[in-house]
Structure 1
Amino acid sequence: MQLYFALVHQDEGSAFGIQFPDLPGCFAAADSEEDLITNAQEALALYLEDEAAPQARSVIEINNDPEVKAELAKGAFLIAVPWLTLSGRTKKANITLDGGLLDAIDEAAKARKLTRSAYLADLARRDLNAA
């Protein structure tokens, strides 16, 4: 998993604007702070869909970029956006869980009309994306 840093701007009364200093032309918007990472990841996935992913700079390198420094001085802030590359193929995995936990997982999956596997994959993606 590779992390790309994104600059987030917000003018009073507007949505958040998201741009990636390492990926010119890759941008997104979000109406709330809760949507920042998700929307940034969607933009990242679309941007890199048919491209080789360039090496992301470290947070220190990004912070030393004069253009980024100027934006940060104006009130922008940085977020780390994980880019997960999915292979498109599935693999079977045998896991061991407490029976009560497995029952709770199955109930939650059923309530969301998901299979156990889909539910666990969704949770894993969200957790990895929040890391």
Structure 2
Amino acid sequence: MRYPIVIELGDQDTAYSVIVPDLPGCFSAGDSFDEAITNATEAMTLWIEEEIKEGRSIPRPSTLESLKQLKDYEGPEWVWGFASVDPALFEEKAERINITIPRRILARLDAQAKAAGETRSGYIAHMAMTF
């Protein structure tokens, strides 16, 4: 899924900053143009994961044309671009998987899941989202 981003150009002394207008409060920076876009993608992923965790809906990307109408980003110091996030972040559908791990680890996993009051699958999902 591609979101429009607006990049404030940097130089030797100032980082490039990136704002994602469709995701309020989502911004990033980098020492180079490429690094700024890479960091923006990571910031977008974290922003979306947090919103999902809090049970909030995720805005769909606006058109570039509609965002260019915003007066906040006029001028030669701003450049428009796009950054992508994996659409799988939006999916809530459960998927059955098959994993192979040693029994001693499975026993430990099951004990930790029980202590946390969760199923094995729920505990694995929770652990994956907290690291």
Report the TM-score when normalising by structure 2.
0.57
Higher radius of gyration, 1 or 2: 2
For 1:85, which of 83, 87, 95 is the aligned residue? 87
* Structure 1 residue runs without a partner (length 5+): 92-131
Question: How far 1:74 sits from its partner (Å)?
Answer: 4.3
DSSP 3-state at the match of 1:34: helix
RMSD: 2.4
- Structure 1 residue 10: deviation in Å? 3.0
Question: Which residue does the alignment assign to 2:4?
Answer: 5
- Preserved contact between residue 19 and residue 27 of structure 2 (Cα < 8 Å): yes
Deviation at 1:28, TM superposition (A): 0.6
One-letter identity of the residue aligned with 2:49: E
Candidates 52, 59, 78, aligned match of 1:76:
78
Q: How far is the alpha carbon of 1:66 from its aligned partner?
A: 2.3
CA distance, structure 2, for counterparts of residue 36 and residue 10 of structure 1: 10
Aligned residue identity for 2:43:
A
Map 1:11-90 onto structure 2 (within 5 A): 11-12=10-11, 13-51=13-51, 52-68=57-73, 70=74, 73-86=75-88
Aligned equivalents of 2:26, 2:96: Cα separation in 1? 29
Structure 2 spans left out of the alignment, 5+ residues: 52-56, 98-131
Deviations 1:15-68 (A, max 9, x none): 111111112211111111221321111000011113232011101111122223
The percentage of aligned residue pairs carrying the same residue is 25
